[in-house]
Amino acid sequence: MLEEAPETTSIVHDVSVAAAVGRGTLPRRLCTAFTQGMGAQRAALSLLPSLDHWQLLHATDESALLGEAVQFTLADGPSINAALEMRPVLMSRLQDRHSSADSHLAGEVPDVHQVLALPMNERRTPIGVMSLYYTQRARVAPSQIAQAQCAAEVALDALLRWRQVHASAGSQRPVWQTDVRAARWHRIHQAAGCVAACEGCSKAEALAWLQAVSARDGLSLLEVADGLLQPRTEPELELPRQDSRAAETVCRA
């Protein structure tokens, strides 16, 4: 039986209060306000400095981090769709889906049943996304989503207002520090892109290849990625496919 999501008439108020308190802790406070106000168990706040780059500002826990990371690494999922389409996206029955992108997300966060992604836009330009992860199936009404989207606009206004350092003198875009937990995923994303370009495959296939090497050699995914990206004098990794050694050499050249 689906649980009723809490009333969200106060979500805009709660986010406004969070936005008014502190600067450095703003991403964390916003995530807390959205999880509590929308009855979600996890949240992640991401910015998109460009459409092919992901900057995580805060994730409430490691599972939320992994949920965002797999979406932005594969460039697919509710968070990506919400940002690009500039509309809220609710993905329900996540564990029942069987498409390629959804199965990757479900595999990384196996206890998450639905995701609500709220875009943050400025003049029809995607700036970021607030993603809410539900470990329990909840009924989220359209009116609740509409209120949450209004709260997302309040959150973006606060991010733009509070940030003192900008990308350039003439830019009004915020440059918040990336969550240190996400730094490793930037390198994994870069390595997957390198393999995809050299092998002519998708990033999903490249990521699966990196994961296969990780499992085979008992290395972390980050160690495999760094092995591809960093010049080494040690013997080359023995890779699963015969032409992969050449790809690795080309990628590091």
Per residue in 67-125, pLDDT (tens digit) is 888 888 777 789 989 988 899 999 988 877 554 445 678 877 888 999 999 999 887 78
DSSP reduced 3-state for 39: coil
Query: Tens digits of per-residue pLDDT, 157-178?
Result: 888 877 654 444 455 555 566 6
Tokens (6 digits) for 107:
């595999």
Q: How far apart are alpha carbons 210 and 70 in whole angstroms?
A: 13
- Candidates 156, 158, 169, 251; CA nearest to 206 is 251
DSSP reduced 3-state for 139: strand
The mean pLDDT value for 44-60 works out to: 80
Note the pTM of the prediction, 2 decimals: 0.72
pLDDT at 246: 39
Query: Tens digits of per-residue pLDDT, 53-74?
Result: 678 889 999 889 888 888 887 7
pLDDT at 252: 45
